[in-house]
Structures are given as structure tokens and as C-alpha cells.
């Protein structure tokens, strides 16, 4: 490759504090426009913001999970600019002393693991939301979002391609979801990611001029936007042109980035410490309490699933992708079900039903207890794996206990030799042709005969016994 991409990500994540970061207003996303507002978040003169303690705690949780140093002392600054979504004409943010800094996160991309440096994670307030009617004419501002707790997470320029960027975002989102500090819903804007992209001749050290791609609605969109941007910059340079530092948007329909505005430099914001807010002091004891409150994080859980349950890296990855899934899995295994079997039924069979019906696992009628009860019915030989699929579907729809379904539908596996034997005799009598074929040495026909026997018993014959008994009866009647 002629050029090497250099990428740094900036992610804004809305933390799920119940109230806003500097006032008591609710953060409910679904409230009617401009109903969650007060003089503080509307930027009235003379009001005094007060910082939300939980916002600081959640930010420190993220900082610790990202292996950051937590500042013992930090402060809030005013970032001054005019925009209709910002009634105060400044955003309260953090400038030179972020709450969390110098961390890292390990990602897996292209089959290898790689460490991405975290420059900083700082606390700020979200802005209002501008709304425009399609076709123009009307614009509005919804101040419900103004003042919602926002954490900005900035990486070092350590990312070397679109796939790594995708892996970083996936890993970060997973971490935030495990920490339960944000729903990370991109459609509702609770997670917004921007990519800073430049290229340099492969083998050289110094960075090229970067562009910043904003307003992309999905991780896969960001991946495509980065790929496009790398190719665009390479072509530009090859043709003797120069990359200009600017903010670019992403047109998902056309699959291209486009220039939005030239980058204003940082000092334009005239940052200065907000005189209305006291410094944030996180002493060792508080940091320690927050550290102790951290849940088991995704990477640790993945490793434990592999070593503790003997799962493959792939299965462990699938089962820990969402915390809810991992919790569910462990609830099943705790009831004594075989780990591998539980993994398959959850991540393949039940997952297929959930995907088909666009249902969340946590909303499913197939609770962990019910799935475990069904797995036990397989393990103790009451039902076969084939019948279990039927039971699972019934449970999925009706929410009944697996035992009740098995009894109601009379699905108990037939393990009674004499019943299977008489069915085998009937099958042999009804299929003289295939039986003759089998006896002349065509072993393949045996499979057909077993199929007929299963059909005759409505799939309920214990499959292993069906095989054995049929072979025995074929021999006896030769």
C-alpha cells in the first residue's frame, strides 16, 4: 500500500443520568419538545448551574474502564460560540483539565489485537436540537436535549484503517453498555462518532492534514465513510492536490463525503474557567469506591466464558456481545445445563427466533429458567433434540413451561423397546422394496428406513434406539 491511513476518533456519548448535568430537568428522550426545560438549561441570565454528582461518577466509571488516569482536580470551562442550539452562547465543557486522561482500550481487528490510546474523556453538556421541516420554511429548537450529560471520548491517532475504527467503536459501545452508563442508541443520538482521517506515505512518520467526518448514523456508515475518505485523499495527493483541513459530511445514499465547513481553530472558542461552578475533586477514596462498583467488563467476561465453560473464542464472543445475553446464558448454565449445549440453543436456535420476530431477549417468553428446563428434558432423554425445537417454538409463542408442552402434545420420547420394535416391524412390512435393497448390501437405504420409523413414531422414537432396534429386527426377519 502506497499510503497509510491515520485515524483518531471522537465519540460523544449521552450518559443516562436521570436529570441533566447542571439542573434538575428530566432527560427523558420521548418527552414533548421543550417540556424538560428550566431557566438554567435555557441559559437565562443570573442562574447558577450545579453539577450532577452521578454524572461525575459515571464519567469516572468510563475513565477507569478505559484505563485512564482520573484527575484529582479538574474544572469546567466555557467554550464560547454562537449557534441557535446554544442559548447561553457558550457550552460548559472541559478544556485543559479533563476528568479522565491517558488511557487505552484493546481491540481486535484483522485477526490481531491492538491497543488504542485514549487521550481524554471529558464531561460537558449537550446542546439543544435544531429541527427543520422537510422542504424548508420552518425551523425549531428543542431545548429538551440542552444540558443532557455528555462525555466526549477522544483517541490518540492510533487507528490505521476503517476496520480498526469499526472494531474500536464496537468495543467502546460494548464497554459503555456493560457499565450501564448509556443506551448508546445512535438513532436517538445518544452515541455520536466522528472520525479524523489523514494519510501519509507508508513508512513515513509525520502526519498529513486531516479531515473530520461528522454526522454518520451507524458504525458501518463510519467504516464506509473512512474508506471513501482514504481513497479520496490518496487520489487528491496523487493528482498533485492538497488535502484541506475541514469538516465533511457523509451522504449515505451516494456513498460519498462532502465538504461542510473549513475547520475553525481551537482558540476561536475563547475557553475560560466557568466562574459559576466549583472545581471537581475526585479524591482517592471516591475513586476507589467507584472502582469497586465496576461490573465485570466484556473482555474479562469473554476470557472467563472461554476458560470457565470451555467455549470457543467465537461462542464466547457471541454470548458476551450484549450483557443481557451473557447474564441470560449464565442463568441457564447455573441450573446445571451443559455449557456447550446451552450456548448452541441460546445463540443459534433461540437467537434465530428472536431475529425473525425482531424481539429482544429480555422480552422473550422463553426465560432462562424455561430454556434450562427444556435442556434438562433433552439431557434426561425425555425429548429428542428434534422435538426440542418444536417445544422451543411453542414456548416462544405461548410462554408455557416446557414440561407442560411436552405432556400436552404428548411429545415424550419413546424409549420403550417393544413400542419401537412393533413400529419397526410395520415399517419393514410396508417397504418391501427398500428392505430388499438394504439386504442386497445397499447400506444407504438403512437411513431411509430409519426415517420411515421416525415418521411412524411422529419423531418421538429415541433416535439411537430406533437405529439399534431397526437393525436388530431387520436381521431377525431376514
Residues near ligand ADP (CB under 6 A): 6-10, 154-157, 196-198, 207, 210, 263, 266
CA atoms lying within 13 Å on the CB side of residue 144: 17
Per CB under 5 A, does 23 bind Zn ion?
yes
Per CB under 5 A, the segment of 34-42, 192-200, 259-267, 434-442 that binds Zn ion is 34-42
Query: By CB under 5 A, how many residues form the interface with Zn ion?
Result: 5
The DSSP string of 195-242 is EEEEEEETT--S----EEE----SHHHHHHHHHHHHHHHHHHHHTT--
Are 350 and 371 in contact, with CB atoms under 8 Å apart?
yes
> 159, exposed or middle or buried, with CB in 10 Å at 0-12, 13-18, 19+?
buried
Considering just the CA atoms, what is the radius of gyration of the chain in Å?
30
Q: Which does 25 bind (CB under 5 to 8 A by kind): Zn ion, ligand ADP, none?
A: Zn ion
Residues 6+ apart with CB under 8 A from 315: 305, 340, 343, 347
Asked if residue 143 lies in contact with residue 111, where contact means CB atoms within 8 angstroms, the answer is no
Sign of the Cα torsion 317, 290, 334, 401 reads negative
Instruction: Give which of ligand ADP, Zn ion, none residue 327 binds (C-beta under 5 to 8 Å, depending on kind).
Output: none
Site string for Zn ion, 41-80 (x = CB under 5 A): x---------------------------------------
Stated length of the chain: 478
Binding mask 376-395 for Zn ion (x = CB under 5 A): --------------------
Specify the residue, 193 or 461, whose C-beta has the smaller distance to ligand ADP. Answer: 193
Pick 65 or 154: Cβ nearer ligand ADP = 154
Q: Is 38 in the site for Zn ion (CB under 5 A)?
A: yes
Q: Which region among 35-43, 249-257, 423-431, 449-457 touches Zn ion (by CB under 5 A)?
A: 35-43
- Give the count of beta carbons closer than 10 Å to the beta carbon of residue 441: 7
Q: CB nearer to ligand ADP: give 78 or 210.
A: 210
Query: Of these partners, Zn ion, ligand ADP, none, which one is at the site of residue 460 (CB under 5 to 8 Å by kind)?
Result: none
User: Is 21 a residue that touches Zn ion (CB under 5 A)?
Assistant: no
Q: How far is the CB of 271 from ligand ADP (least distance, A)?
A: 12
Nearer to Zn ion by C-beta: 38 or 338?
38
Output 25 or 346, the one with its CB closest to Zn ion: 25
CA distance linking residue 178 with residue 50, whole number of Å: 28
Per CB under 5 A, residues contacting Zn ion are 23, 25, 38, 40-41
Amino acid at each position: 500500500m502506497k499510503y497509510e491511513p491515520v485515524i483518531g476518533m471522537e465519540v460523544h456519548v449521552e450518559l443516562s443520568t436521570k436529570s441533566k448535568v447542571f439542573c434538575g430537568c428530566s432527560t427523558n428522550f420521548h418527552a414533548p419538545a421543550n417540556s424538560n426545560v428550566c431557566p438554567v438549561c435555557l441559559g437565562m441570565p443570573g442562574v447558577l448551574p450545579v453539577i450532577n454528582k452521578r454524572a461525575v461518577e459515571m464519567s469516572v466509571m468510563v475513565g477507569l474502564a478505559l484505563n485512564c488516569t482520573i484527575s484529582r482536580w479538574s474544572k469546567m470551562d466555557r467554550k464560547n460560540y454562537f449557534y441557535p442550539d446554544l442559548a447561553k452562547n457558550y457550552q460548559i465543557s472541559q478544556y485543559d483539565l479533563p476528568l479522565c486522561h491517558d488511557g487505552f482500550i484493546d481491540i481486535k481487528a484483522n485477526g490481531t489485537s491492538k491497543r488504542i490510546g485514549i487521550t481524554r474523556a471529558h464531561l460537558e453538556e449537550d446542546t439543544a436540537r435544531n429541527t427543520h421541516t422537510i422542504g424548508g420554511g420552518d425551523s425549531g429548537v428543542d431545548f429538551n436535549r440542552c444540558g443532557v450529560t455528555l462525555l466526549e471520548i477522544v483517541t490518540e491517532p492510533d487507528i490505521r484503517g476503517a476496520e480498526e475504527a469499526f472494531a474500536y467503536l464496537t468495543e467502546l459501545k460494548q464497554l459503555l453498555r456493560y457499565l450501564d452508563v448509556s443506551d448508546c442508541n445512535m438513532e436517538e443520538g445518544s452515541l455520536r462518532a466522528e472520525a479524523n482521517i489523514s494519510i501519509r506515505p507508508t513508512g513515513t512518520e509525520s502526519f498529513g492534514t486531516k479531515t473530520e467526518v461528522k454526522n454518520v448514523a451507524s458504525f458501518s456508515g463510519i467504516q464506509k465513510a473512512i474508506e471513501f475518505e482514504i481513497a479520496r485523499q490518496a487520489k487528491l495527493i496523487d493528482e498533485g492536490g492538497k488535502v484541506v483541513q475541514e469538516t465533511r459530511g457523509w451522504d449515505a445514499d451516494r456513498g460519498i463525503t462532502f465538504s461542510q465547513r473549513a475547520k475553525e481553530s481551537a482558540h476561536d472558542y475563547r475557553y475560560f474557567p466557568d466562574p459559576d461552578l466549583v472545581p471537581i475533586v475526585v479524591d482517592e477514596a471516591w475513586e476507589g469506591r467507584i472502582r469497586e462498583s465496576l461490573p465485570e467488563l466484556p473482555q474479562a467476561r469473554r476470557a472467563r466464558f472461554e476458560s470457565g465453560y470451555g467455549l470457543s473464542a467465537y461462542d464466547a464472543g457471541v454470548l458476551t456481545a450484549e450483557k443481557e445475553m451473557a447474564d441470560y446464558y449464565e442463568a441457564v448454565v447455573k441450573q446445571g445445563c451443559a455449557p456447550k449445549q446451552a450456548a448452541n440453543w441460546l445463540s443459534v436456535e433461540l437467537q434465530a427466533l428472536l431475529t425473525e420476530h425482531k424481539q429482544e431477549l429480555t422480552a422473550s417468553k422463553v426465560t432462562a429458567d424455561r430454556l434450562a428446563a427444556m435442556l434438562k428434558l433433552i439431557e434426561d432423554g425425555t425429548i429428542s433434540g428434534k422435538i426440542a425445537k418444536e417445544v422451543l417454538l411453542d414456548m416462544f409463542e405461548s410462554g408455557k413451561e416446557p414440561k407442560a408442552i411436552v405432556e400436552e402434545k404428548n411429545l415424550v420420547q419413546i424409549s420403550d423397546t417393544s413400542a419401537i420394535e412393533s413400529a419397526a416391524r410395520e415399517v419393514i412390512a410396508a417397504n418391501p422394496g427398500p428392505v430388499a435393497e438394504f439386504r442386497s448390501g445397499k447400506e444407504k437405504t438403512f437411513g431411509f428406513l430409519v426415517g420411515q420409523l421416525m415418521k411412524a413414531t411422529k419423531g418421538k422414537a429415541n433416535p439411537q434406539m430406533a437405529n439399534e432396534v431397526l437393525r436388530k429386527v431387520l436381521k431377525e426377519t431376514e
